[in-house]
Amino acid sequence: MFITTSKLHHLHMPKTEAYNWITENSYTKPEKVDHIQQALLERWPSLHIEECDDQIDRATLENIHTSEYLNYLMSRETVLQEGEDSILNDVPYIALDKEPIAEQAKRWYYCSDTYTSFTKYIRKVACSSYNAVHTAGKYVLRNWWAWYALTRPPGHHAMPGKASGYCYLANASIFTEYAVEQWKRPVILDIDFHHGNGAQTIFYDRSDVLTCSIHADPARKFPYFTWFEDEIGVWDGIGYNMNICLEAWADEQIYLHSLDILLERVQAYEADILIVCLWFDTYQWDPICDFDLSIGSYSKIAKKIKEIGLPTLYVQEGGYDMEDIWNCAVSFFEEILD
């Protein structure tokens, strides 16, 4: 296995986020990537790690994202000061159908929540993150069986025209669209604690991409509102979206059973490439999530995914426990690499 990562992710260091009108320290930290990378290299010293810059073709991004939104990300470099955070303290209950003029209103227009902070270099950092995914994914398309895009910021909440849930570019979805253009039949398997609402939104009416997700019940956890088990797709996409929603303190047995159900659907779809939105926020001590998986659970999950036998791109998403996230990653990849 090889790893790609962003050489620019340290430029994005949000200080705060708001939850229930309370401002607190941000949970998205550059140490996540550093800890995982160091631990994997200590365990497997011969691992090849390729650092990626922000040079990515804009047309590739526009396959998923609106031009106006990409322009907004680019403009942060001139609008924001060095070290400045730009977050929302509330989200207005109004429907905005065109870009507003006022800078503060643009933040409402281009962001769906109060957790996601725009920083000065967010365009560079997000493009570098996607470039890591794109670089790894192209190797997988050439039948390299496992590549890991150790990316930050994550991407599975990002919408075509909005940032959401710490996500700015829809990393896995952008590459999935690229894979379809290469005549591939991809599956997105999202095993993050939070639902990958970006991918579901993007591919919900299509049959050329299967989207599957195990996640916390949105009735109680982000992204709220929708993303439930009865959402199976619309139009051509009916039957090509599958959600399994779990209650608080879902343990290893419940999780593995749910994964078996999703993997059975993946096998029936006859995919030729698997894109896994990888997570470590299902860990029992994660500070913002409430599942009950142990460090050892991750090797069992990896074993089941590996047994599918598909070329697989692993795309890093969530995980916020800085003490043990590296242990979770080593447990997962021991099954993939050993």
Give the residue numbers annotated as catalytic, written as ranges. 157
Amino acid at 239: G
- H helix intervals, 142-242: 171-181, 197-203
Collect all residues with Cβ–Cβ distance below 8 Å to 215 and sequence separation of at least 6: 190, 192, 193, 194, 195, 196, 221, 227, 243, 244, 245, 246
Pairing type for strands 2-6 and 146-150 reads: parallel
Pairing type for strands 241-246 and 146-150 reads: unpaired
The secondary structure element, H or E, covering residue 118 is none
Q: At what angle do helices 67-79 and 122-141 cross, to 10 degrees?
A: 130
Q: Nearest 5°: CA angle at 232, between 316 and 242?
A: 35
108: left (phi over 0), alpha (psi -120 to 50) or beta: alpha
Q: Nearest 5°: CA angle at 162, between 158 and 164?
A: 50
260-275 residues labelled b (16+ CB within 10 A) or e (exposed):
eebbeebeebebebbb
Q: Nearest 5°: CA angle at 245, between 157 and 305?
A: 80
